[in-house]
Chain A
């Protein structure tokens, strides 16, 4: 499996390479493609939070579900693009089921109970993954069109980078259309403002919540599939760190705000790649960056970049 040199992240900048324009651009492209994955996953967090005021801890694990679904279907000789579509559908169903089983019964409970339930679901999925798929990492087949190396304006990178960015843009446009131009989208926005008023306006709350989970989960599935293509080793715990980081991206952009989640995702992805490219000695601390950003943003602008100020009602 010809892994592009650029995807061995720790190689970057370790040699004598100077900070040239090309080096910068290559890393930027890599950062943008990682950022678009973060953005896709962060949208799911932000949409669920916007409507239910709940951190869906299990959201990151949906990545793993999607990646394994693709892995097993490709192993069963299903063409990769059909496998990808089926995996998205499966993940959406899993997402909706999670909401029905773990969050809906607790809708009127204290938020801490729901949070504990979310942690429980996340652990259940991870450990079921470990039991069913075993902890051994598996290599995902990468279709050849993603493996070409592309030269553009003096920089060379894998074609996958551009496919990821392109797919993300298309998905985001579709989401914007859905949220702003369709009745369902309007219902979702109404729910985010007020549950009670929305149900008075003859909006079927449960159906819209399920639909939100389906959309969020399928975006996470797209993210997970592309993640598996970009870093072609999958294991049952692969979703934990992307999940946490994407939550950070959602908070960074202003949780509850879809545009904010996208911006946050891109910022996080670019910062992560660029920081290591410029300071290779920080590579070991890579997983800590997101949390440092999270704590800084929570301290200085808790509402995030695009968020609105919330006041606490007595």
Chain B
């Protein structure tokens, strides 16, 4: 990293922390909720980007791993009495019934449980490539959902879990988001990260260079999925009520949208796009609620948000196939280059005007 980029990163970090303190003091609950969601989405999108963007393994199973993380986190933090209230059809299996722990250990365990599942799923699935891998991972994510719906005495089936303690605040969510960003940064710039990129560019060549393909693919898959687990646990704490239907393919689609928009293989691009997409998701609620302009009332169109997002995804993939950042990062040089280009453009325009 160049010195200027380092300084830039430090300034942005300090600025964000200062903004978090400010927001924590002065923002209302709704805005804080959106900010929490943005942080969670950053974690989720970075996880998916490690698998899809950096290692080039196209996984569509993120929602399933989120579900595992969310359920683990929720079951570990729910108090025994709340569990009794939740499980009124079938009592919960015995060791979990009288068990409760704090938020931090619960999240760590959620990450570990998700990692174990990701490993078990990854070993067979990562033998596949490209679109087969995509469908198989999507299939597994659906299987996870079906199993969650049917394991009445462990997950409470389709009724879901309610009254999950809401430990989450800006410092938890953004703390984990910062951890995820720093971790991803060091991972990608380590020899493992370089191996991931080599596999993405050309598997055969990477293997010829002595890279153990399977080991690195599994590693990327497990790491990315356990980040989904962490995101899921935080998500459960934010929602306070979860059921298997939340973790449908639509959720994976949202995260995929963030990754594709920001650029598959760009950390800073993912962070920016995850934040923007989260805010847009909320902001576009305007479209769905009725509007009154003068005496004219336009009825809200529910579901319009997802239409807009699907069009957005298609437009990006058709016109900017690499997303807005591609595999580049927002660095000092990148910003300077952009500014220079803008200046040149301005100069050219004034020149042209002079000629006329």
Q: How far is the CB of A157 from chain B (nearest CB, A)?
A: 28
Alpha-carbon distance A97/B142, docked complex (angstroms) = 29
Q: A295, B132: Cβ atoms under 8 Å? A: no
Chain A residues 281-314 with CB under 8 Å of chain B are 284-285, 287-288, 290-292, 294-295, 298-299, 302, 312, 314
Q: B318, A287: Cβ atoms under 8 Å? A: no
Alpha-carbon distance A116/B264, docked complex (angstroms) = 12
Q: B146, A285: Cβ atoms under 8 Å? A: yes
Alpha-carbon distance A291/B303, docked complex (angstroms) = 29
Alpha-carbon distance A105/B321, docked complex (angstroms) = 11
Asked whether any CB of chain A lies closer than 8 Å to the CB of B306, the reply is yes
**Per-position 1/0 for B121-164, Cβ under 8 A of A:** 00011011011101110111011001101100000000000000
Asked whether any CB of chain A lies closer than 8 Å to the CB of B182, the reply is no
Q: B314, A121: Cβ atoms under 8 Å? A: yes
Asked whether any CB of chain A lies closer than 8 Å to the CB of B209, the reply is no
Asked whether any CB of chain A lies closer than 8 Å to the CB of B307, the reply is yes
Asked whether any CB of chain A lies closer than 8 Å to the CB of B171, the reply is no
Do A116 and B260 form a contact, CB below 8 Å, given A123-B306, A244-B138?
yes
Alpha-carbon distance A295/B131, docked complex (angstroms) = 13
Chain A residues 135-158 with CB under 8 Å of chain B are 135
Asked whether any CB of chain B lies closer than 8 Å to the CB of A127, the reply is yes
Query: Which of B253, B309, B318: most chain A CB closer than 10 A?
Result: B318
Alpha-carbon distance A120/B124, docked complex (angstroms) = 27
Q: How far is the CB of B213 from chain A (nearest CB, A)?
A: 13
Alpha-carbon distance A109/B307, docked complex (angstroms) = 24
Asked whether any CB of chain B lies closer than 8 Å to the CB of A94, the reply is no
Q: A120, B310: Cβ atoms under 8 Å? A: yes
Alpha-carbon distance A111/B129, docked complex (angstroms) = 11
Task: Please indicate the chain B residues that have their CB under 8 angstroms from the CB of A102 in the complex.
Answer: 314, 318
Alpha-carbon distance A232/B322, docked complex (angstroms) = 43
Q: B318, A117: Cβ atoms under 8 Å? A: yes
Asked whether any CB of chain B lies closer than 8 Å to the CB of A130, the reply is yes
Alpha-carbon distance A130/B125, docked complex (angstroms) = 33
Alpha-carbon distance A294/B132, docked complex (angstroms) = 10
Do A124 and B314 form a contact, CB below 8 Å, given A131-B301, A294-B135?
yes
Q: B142, A295: Cβ atoms under 8 Å? A: no
Q: A116, B130: Cβ atoms under 8 Å? A: no
Q: How far is the CB of B130 from chain A (nearest CB, A)?
A: 6
| Residue in A115, A119, A124 whose CB lies within 8 Å of B311 | A124
Asked whether any CB of chain A lies closer than 8 Å to the CB of B7, the reply is no
Q: B314, A287: Cβ atoms under 8 Å? A: no
Q: A295, B124: Cβ atoms under 8 Å? A: yes
Asked whether any CB of chain B lies closer than 8 Å to the CB of A113, the reply is yes
Task: Please indicate the chain B residues that have their CB under 8 angstroms from the CB of A251 in the complex.
Answer: 132, 135
Asked whether any CB of chain B lies closer than 8 Å to the CB of A247, the reply is yes
Task: Please indicate the chain B residues that have their CB under 8 angstroms from the CB of A121 in the complex.
Answer: 310, 314
Name the CB-closest residue of A to B308.
A127
Q: B313, A116: Cβ atoms under 8 Å? A: yes
Asked whether any CB of chain A lies closer than 8 Å to the CB of B280, the reply is no
| Residue in A113, A248, A314 whose CB lies within 8 Å of B317 | A113
Do A244 and B142 form a contact, CB below 8 Å, given A115-B58, A120-B317, A299-B127?
yes
Name the CB-closest residue of A to B313.
A120
Task: Please indicate the chain B residues that have their CB under 8 angstroms from the CB of A287 in the complex.
Answer: 142, 146
Q: B140, A127: Cβ atoms under 8 Å? A: no
Do A116 and B138 form a contact, CB below 8 Å, given A127-B303, A127-B306, A298-B132?
no
Alpha-carbon distance A284/B130, docked complex (angstroms) = 30
| Residue in B142, B264, B304, B318 whose CB lies within 8 Å of A291 | B142
| Residue in B143, B149, B303, B318 whose CB lies within 8 Å of A130 | B303
Q: How far is the CB of B33 from chain A (nearest CB, A)?
A: 24
Asked whether any CB of chain B lies closer than 8 Å to the CB of A106, the reply is yes
Task: Please indicate the chain A residues that have their CB under 8 angstroms from the CB of B250 in the complex.
Answer: 123
Asked whether any CB of chain A lies closer than 8 Å to the CB of B204, the reply is yes
Do A128 and B318 form a contact, CB below 8 Å, given A123-B313, A295-B125?
no
Q: How far is the CB of A309 from chain B (nearest CB, A)?
A: 15
Alpha-carbon distance A248/B140, docked complex (angstroms) = 13
Q: A131, B303: Cβ atoms under 8 Å? A: yes
Q: How far is the CB of B215 from chain A (nearest CB, A)?
A: 19
Q: A247, B306: Cβ atoms under 8 Å? A: no
Task: Please indicate the chain B residues that have their CB under 8 angstroms from the CB of A285 in the complex.
Answer: 146-147, 150
Q: How far is the CB of B305 from chain A (nearest CB, A)?
A: 8
Alpha-carbon distance A161/B301, docked complex (angstroms) = 39
Q: A113, B146: Cβ atoms under 8 Å? A: no
Q: How far is the CB of B120 from chain A (nearest CB, A)?
A: 12
Asked whether any CB of chain B lies closer than 8 Å to the CB of A112, the reply is yes
| Residue in A113, A284, A298 whose CB lies within 8 Å of B321 | A113
Q: How far is the CB of B10 from chain A (nearest CB, A)?
A: 35
Alpha-carbon distance A288/B131, docked complex (angstroms) = 19
**A to B CB contacts below 8 Å, 12 in the list:** A112-B56, A112-B264, A113-B317, A117-B318, A123-B250, A124-B314, A131-B301, A285-B146, A287-B142, A295-B139, A312-B204, A314-B204
Give me the interface of A with B, judged by CB distance under 8 Å. Answer: 54-55, 102, 105-106, 109-113, 115-117, 119-121, 123-124, 127-128, 130-131, 135, 240, 244, 247-248, 251, 284-285, 287-288, 290-292, 294-295, 298-299, 302, 312, 314
Closest 5 CB pairs of A and B: A291-B139, A124-B310, A120-B314, A127-B306, A123-B310
Starting from the known contacts A105-B318, A116-B317, A288-B142, 10 additional A-B residue pairs (CB-CB under 8 Å) come to A55-B135, A115-B58, A116-B256, A116-B260, A117-B314, A119-B253, A131-B301, A135-B303, A291-B142, A295-B125
